[in-house]
């Protein structure tokens, strides 16, 4: 049986990336990200529903994100879902689902009109 864990998103960065290093010195960046679902209600009014995501990049991709990705930038993202299970400070079990990013493309705003840069862990 085949399994697929693949995520493709097109949305906007909600906050500047936070870059840190693991104990072994590998760069890690956390990026807030949002996508919007849009539809028209029965009266024809445009409705929007945001969905917020947590993106995580490693290695050179994380370093690139820290230098080039900024709040408000449109981004095309490819990656996979990963859920971490942990205990809170109060000792209760919790989980967090993140998107581990394989590659992303920085898209410019409509004002600039071009693709600014691309990065990939595999390249």
pLDDT digit string, tens, across residues 95-108: 999 999 999 999 97
Question: pTM for the whole thing?
Answer: 0.82
Reported confidence tier of residue 111, pLDDT bands at 50, 70, 90: low
Mean per-residue pLDDT, 55-62: 97
Is the sign of the CA dihedral 116, 34, 13, 101 positive or negative?
negative
Reported confidence tier of residue 44, pLDDT bands at 50, 70, 90: very high
CATH says 7-120 is which class? mainly beta
């Amino acid at each position: 049986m085949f399994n697929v864990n693949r995520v493709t998103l097109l949305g906007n960065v909600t906050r500047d990336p936070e870059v840190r290093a693991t104990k072994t010195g590998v760069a890690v960046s956390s990026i807030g990200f949002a996508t919007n679902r849009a539809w028209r209600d029965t009266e024809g009014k445009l409705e929007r529903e945001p969905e917020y995501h947590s993106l995580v990049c490693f290695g050179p991709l994380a370093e690139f994100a820290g230098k080039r990705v900024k709040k408000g930038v449109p981004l095309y993202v490819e990656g996979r879902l990963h859920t971490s299970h942990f205990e809170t400070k109060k000792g209760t079990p919790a989980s967090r689902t993140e998107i581990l990013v394989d590659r992303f493309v920085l898209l410019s705003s409509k004002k600039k009109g071009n693709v600014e840069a691309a990065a990939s862990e595999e390249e």
